Structure 1
Amino acid sequence: MIRLGAGPLDRIVAVGAHCDDIAIGAGGTLLTLCRARPGVRVDALVLSGGGGEREQEELAALDAFCPDAELRLTVLKLPDGRLPAHWDEAKAAVEELRAATEPDLVLAPRTDDAHQDHRGLAELMTTAFRDHLVFGYEIVKWDGDLGRPTAYQPLSPETAEAKARLLEEHYPSQRHRPWYDREAFLGLARIRGIECHARYAEAFAVAKLTLDLGTSELGD
């Protein structure tokens, strides 16, 4: 499998429309990155779920998914499923996040996600983080919108198992959902692992990136 490295990652931005989006879409990647680089800064923004049980779940979960990281989490109170009606508030939050950090990597929903809140947030991210490496994560759902990803982060079996366990442990409010279980999380990770010659993996959409293959001076 072709491998490209991003170099040292000191600052990461992770955003979600709902509490648990980040952990479902990129929890294994966050575990891998934070374990490899203690002290990495993670600025996280979630648009809905603030002020209640969901916010407390998210804080505990991201603490677990970002071990030894400098985690800065903001959870807003925008209503679930109503992002288009609250576009200005969401855009202001994304712009505020952009002003607060200069990330090496951005983890966000995919622009072709079938959920309008996910898709809307993804579109906002491309307007604010225009010169950054943005990985669009995927969330398994009833809509059946999983596609053909362009980038993979292999996960060790231990990391994949930890992700599934932490998702079940830290989001009790979601356990009633028929798709929210260990089989779904590990099943998708196994499929993505097959696609990149690994046991497990998370997959991402990458719209645009610039290569540095030892010839960066040519662009100066």
Structure 2
Amino acid sequence: MIELSTGSLSSVAVIGAHCDDIVIGAGATLLQITERHPDIEVHALVLTGAGTEREIEEKAALTAFCGEAGVRLTVADLPDGRLPENWSRVKRILAEFRRGCDPDVVFAPHRHDRHQDHRLIAEIVPTEFRDHLTLGYEILKWESDLPNPHIYQPISETTARRKAALLDLYYPSQAGHDWFDEESFLAIMRVRGAQCRSRYAEAFICEKATLALRAGDPTARS
């Protein structure tokens, strides 16, 4: 696999339609980023769930996933499953969120996700974060909409199992979903790992990026 580097990270933005989306899609990557960059700022936005038990779960979960990193979480009160009907409010909230941060990397849903709330966010995010590396995460669910990823983040077995355990611990309200369990989360990470010659991995969609082709070491042998 060819390795591409983001360089040093000082700030990341993570965006989800629902509480738990972010850590389902990029939780292991967040664990690794914040372990390697404990001084990083994590700007998090969730469009639904404000004032409910879901918001309480999300605050606790992000604190656990981000360790010593500074977390700035905003949870809005838009109606779950009805974001397309509230396009102008979604646009306004994302615009306000963008004005409050200038991240090195943005993690958000990908535009081919079949859940209407995820898909709308994916369509609007690039209009606000125009000059940022944006990576679309995947969410395992009932719909058969898993993408063909472009970017893989190798994950250690310890980190993969920690992600699965933290999801189980911090989102008890989701335990009734038949796909929401440690076995499912480990399974998708194992598949993505096999695709990038790692034991486990998380995978992302990247719609647009530029390459910096730097000169190599002239003393290196070809």
Partners of 2:13 and 2:112 lie apart in 1 by: 20
Structure 1 residue aligned with 2:184:
184
Task: Give secondary structure in 1 for the equivalent of 2:169.
Answer: helix
Q: Aligned-pair distance for 1:17? A: 0.1
What is the CA–CA distance in structure 1 between the aligned matches of 2:31 and 2:187, rounded to whole Å? Answer: 18
Partners of 1:177 and 1:143 lie apart in 2 by 13
| Equivalent residues in 2 for 1:25-104, closer than 5 Å | 25-104=25-104
Counterparts of 2:124 and 2:147 in 1: how far apart (Å)?
Answer: 21
Alpha-carbon distance in 2 for matches of 1:61, 1:123: 26
Show the counterpart of 1:115. Answer: 115
Secondary structure of 1:76's partner? strand
Separation of aligned partners in 2, 1:163 and 1:136: 18
Other-structure match for 2:131:
131
Q: What TM-score do you get using the length of structure 1 for normalisation? A: 0.97
Name 2:220's counterpart in structure 1: none
Aligned counterparts of 1:87 and 1:61: Cα–Cα separation in 2: 28
> Separation in 2 of the partners of 1:85 and 1:212?
40
- What residue number does 2:194 align with? 194
Residue of structure 2 equivalent to 1:205: 205
| Deviation of 1:147 (Å) | 2.0
Deviation at 1:214, TM superposition (A): 1.7
Partner amino acid, structure 1, of 2:72: R
Contact preservation (8 Å) 2:112, 2:147: no
Per-residue CA deviations over 1:114-168 (Å, capped at 9, x if unaligned) read 1000000111101100110000000001111012100000000000000000000
* 1:11 corresponding residue in structure 2: 11
Aligned AA (1:61): A
Query: What do the CA deviations read for 1:36-76 (whole angstroms, capped 9, x no partner)?
Result: 00110000000001101000000000001111111000001
Q: Cα RMSD (Å) of the superposition?
A: 0.7
CA distance in 1, matches of 2:137, 2:129: 16
Show structure 1 runs of 4+ deviating over 3 A. none
CA shift, 1:92, in A, is 0.7
Distance (whole Å) between structure 2 residues aligned to residue 172 and residue 141 of structure 1: 17
SS at match of 1:189: helix
Distance 1:211 1:10 in 2: 20
Distance in 1, Cα, partners of 2:149 & 2:50: 31
Write out per-residue CA displacement over residues 78-119 of structure 1, whole angstroms, 9 at most, x where no aligned residue: 111000111111111100111111110000000110100000
Aligned twin of 2:142: 142
- 2:210 is aligned with what amino acid? T
- d(CA) in 1 for partners of 2:17 and 2:158? 28
